[in-house]
Structures are given as C-alpha cells and as structure tokens.
Amino acid sequence: MNMIVCVKRVPDTAESEVHIDASGRDIDKSRLSFGINECDNYAVEEAIQIKEKLGGKVTVISLGGKENDEVIRMALAKGGDDAIRLDDPAFAGSDGFAVAKALAAAIKDLEYDIVFTGALADDDGYAVVPVALAELLGVPHATYVKDLEILEDGKRARVGRELEGGLMEYLEIELPCVLGIQTGINEPRYASFKGIKQAAKKEIVVKSAADLGLDPSEVGEAGSWAILEKFSVPEVGEMAEILQGDPEETAAKLAQILKEKGLI
C-alpha cells in the first residue's frame, strides 16, 4: 500500500496575540512558533498505521521554503520513507486551488494508492485542497474523514465522514483516492529519538515549478482563483440589543428597528 501525505507548516496562534504586518497582506510571524498543521499530523499517523499493518511506503510532500524541512523530517521520524519539498518563488501567493495544482503535478507520476491531506489548514481554513487535488488527479475523494478501513480486496476503502451535528456518513471508495483527514481519527505518536536521528540523514528532494512542468502563470497569484487583497481588524460596534417581551411584541420591535436602519 503506497501512500502520499501532504503536510503544511503553520504558525501557532492559539495563545498568541496576532498582528497584521506592514504589508497588510499577512500577519506578523516574527514572534510566533511554527509546527505541522493539526489535521496533517493525524493524516501522517493514519498513513503510518496503514503501512505498519499492510506494508508499503509513505512519501511526505510539502510546499514551501527550507523552513518546511522541520515538519517534513518530523513526519519521516515517525515512519515516513521519502520526502519531496516544492520550493519556487512562483508558488508565492497561491490559494488552495493553486496549491492543489502544484501538489498534483508532483504526485501524478508517483505510484500511490491513497493521497492523504488534512481536511483543512489551521492558518487559512480553505478546506479546498483535498477536493481540488482529487479532481486534478482524476481520482475519487472523501474529506473530513474520521474513520478509515482498507477492505480485504485492497482496492476499496470504507470511510466515515464527520458531518454537522456530530453525525457520521459511511461510504465505500475506490482506490486510488484522496482522503482529507479530520482530527480525532487516531492518536498521533511522538517521534522516537532513533527515528529523529534516522530522519536527519534522509534526502529531501526539492522540486521547482519548472521541474514539475508548470508555467509560473499556473501557480502563485497568477494561477489562483482567490487573491488576498489585505487583512483588516474587525471594527468594534455597539453591543447587541436583547428584545424583551412576547413573540408579537418582539417581532414588532424588530420590524421597527429594521425599518429605521433602512433594511426593509
């Protein structure tokens, strides 16, 4: 069972005060720590568990600069076999669709049964990469996957997708496929000291847009459907007004407010 795991390096903003940088198009990351995207960490673990059970190989792919080697090597230390990093100034400003194009170009000539991604990224929350990647590769997909079983024939998988309200949808999917993994599907392991030492010696193959057969116009801002213009801090408005009274009375008050605001 050959698997590919796409991982992303993201800033940890959970307990940090976030500020917009001077460009207005990004946040100030100078004092932030970085690590693997949370959903991607679960995707790495899922691929390694399948490898341990059924055999095969796990290839780790990430798009970004040399700083991404940190999260790539951590995935290798946990049980990944090979690694590819996509690095080119042409990739700057890529939205989820352009990222998927770069990943698809890197993956299309590799042998794989499953491509794992996180269901969404902690920083931008696009949640589009697994779906767009599957479409570009021409294979079926499922996302927000929280349960996975490879069926005995090795050609199909049974997946459970997390829906709204905690509901689960179960379906069978043909391999090869792309799966967007949701947190909670497993318990990600810690890398062993031995694994970290071995991972430090493994080669990370670096590929540019040209290596992937991509024209710069196909990726980055030029190849994106959504372009970030600028960030802005939400304006602080008035507190919400709670309408008191019975339904008829509150409905009348609401109608009057809407009329005064010019909304009706």
Q: What is the pLDDT of residues 43-80, one digit of tens each?
A: 999 999 999 999 999 999 999 999 999 999 999 999 99
Q: What is the pLDDT of residues 121-144, one digit of tens each?
A: 998 888 999 999 999 999 999 999
User: Is a pLDDT exceeding 90 seen at residue 28?
Assistant: no
Look up the CATH number of domain 2-218.
3.40.50.620
The rounded percent of the chain whose pLDDT value lies above 70 is: 99
In the chain, where the domains are located? 2-218
DSSP collapsed to 3 states, the chain = CEEEEEECEEECCCCCCCCECCCCCCECCCCCCEEECHHHHHHHHHHHHHHHHHCCEEEEEEECCHHHHHHHHHHHHHCCCEEEEECCHHHCCCCHHHHHHHHHHHHCCCCCCEEEEECCCCCCCCCCHHHHHHHHHCCCEEEEEEEEEECCCCCEEEEEEECHHHCEEEEEEECCEEEEECCCCCCCCCCCHHHHHHHHCCCEEEECCCCCCCCHHHCCCCCCCCCCCCCCCCCCCCCCCCCCCCHHHHHHHHHHHHHHCCCC
pTM given for the model: 0.86
